[in-house]
Amino acid sequence: MQIRKIATPMAMAALLSSVAFGAAKAVESYTTTTSTTVDVPSTVTTNAVPGSVVYLRTASPTLLITTLEGRRKDLDKMIDQAHDRGEISGERCEAMKRELRRIAQETGSNTISYSGAVMLAEDLDLIGAQYRTIVTNAPAYVPIIVGSHFTIYNGQTVQLDDLSMRRADLEGRVTKDLLQGRLSESRAADLRAQLSNIGSEAALYHADGNFDSKESRRLYDDFDHVATEIEKSAGKDNN
């Protein structure tokens, strides 16, 4: 992957403007999720021909962290301001900010895995959606992930593979149920740990470069088990 330096992050208004993204299903196999040391910010570049799919793994980890941290800080500020205006109760404000503090801990180092970035982006999007349902006069929230597309803060859109999407969906369900009071903090932590373990298992499968259909089926079965555990703890998804 080639890299080059980029300009400053987009302003908050750009993050909250209404944007429509197409959702196309990823068709490539899941890629390794081992942590990568962050260097300097860079743009996503690829040697692929125009019109070909650019996958998340081609993005610099620094770009992913910058995207997540920028959105987290924006949401933190928005929630504080809404609370000061009396638009969000102290209890709901604290619940969302507690999740933002957890995300800050996850993005506070100089390493991140691609699957971890997807999960944190999904968490931020759920918090943003929750904020928008409470502060109804706020501008429309533009999520980082739409369908199989992950949007980097500089506007570059990259594609998620199927297993990343499945894990992100489950992480999003955990976060939503936690914010809605349907899951306890300890149960949410346990479910997230299970998802993290599945990601680690996937990384091991890919370590030798030979990821087969049997291993893929095992990962999907593990995800299905977590989905069942979520339903047992929080009930069916009420959207």
Provide the residue-wise pLDDT of the chain in tens; the chain has 239 residues: 333 333 333 333 333 333 333 333 332 332 333 333 333 333 333 334 444 567 787 788 888 999 999 999 999 999 999 999 999 999 999 999 999 999 999 888 767 888 788 889 999 999 999 999 999 999 999 999 998 899 998 888 999 888 888 888 898 899 989 988 999 999 999 999 999 888 778 777 766 667 788 888 999 999 999 999 999 998 877 66
Q: Is 121 domain-assigned?
A: yes
Instruction: Give the C-alpha separation, 95 to 181, whole Å.
Output: 9
Residue pair 118/167 in contact by the 8 Å Cβ criterion: yes
Q: What is the DSSP letter of 7?
A: -
177: containing domain: 12-34+51-234
In this structure, is residue 175 part of a structural domain?
A: yes
H or E, element range at 22: none
Structural domain includes residue 78: yes
Let me know if residue 160 belongs to a domain.
yes
* Residue 43 located in a structural domain: no
3-state secondary structure of 147: coil
Dist CA 130 CA 210 (whole Å): 40
> CB-based contacts of 18: which residues, under 8 Å, 6+ apart?
139, 140, 142
- Establish if 208 belongs to a structural domain: yes
The answer to whether residue 176 is domain-embedded is yes
Q: Which two tokens stand for residue 217?
A: 């089926």
CA distance 146 to 140: 14
| Cα torsion angle, 34, 40, 43, 48, sign | negative
How many domains does the chain divide into? 1
For 55, which DSSP code? B
Q: What is the CA radius of gyration of the chain?
A: 18
Question: CB atoms < 10 A from the CB of 142, how many?
Answer: 18
Residue 107 neighbours by CB distance under 10 Å? 18
pTM of the entire predicted model: 0.69
Comparing CA positions, the residue from 85, 191, 65, 182 lying closest to residue 131 is: 85
Query: Is residue 239 a part of any domain in this protein?
Result: no
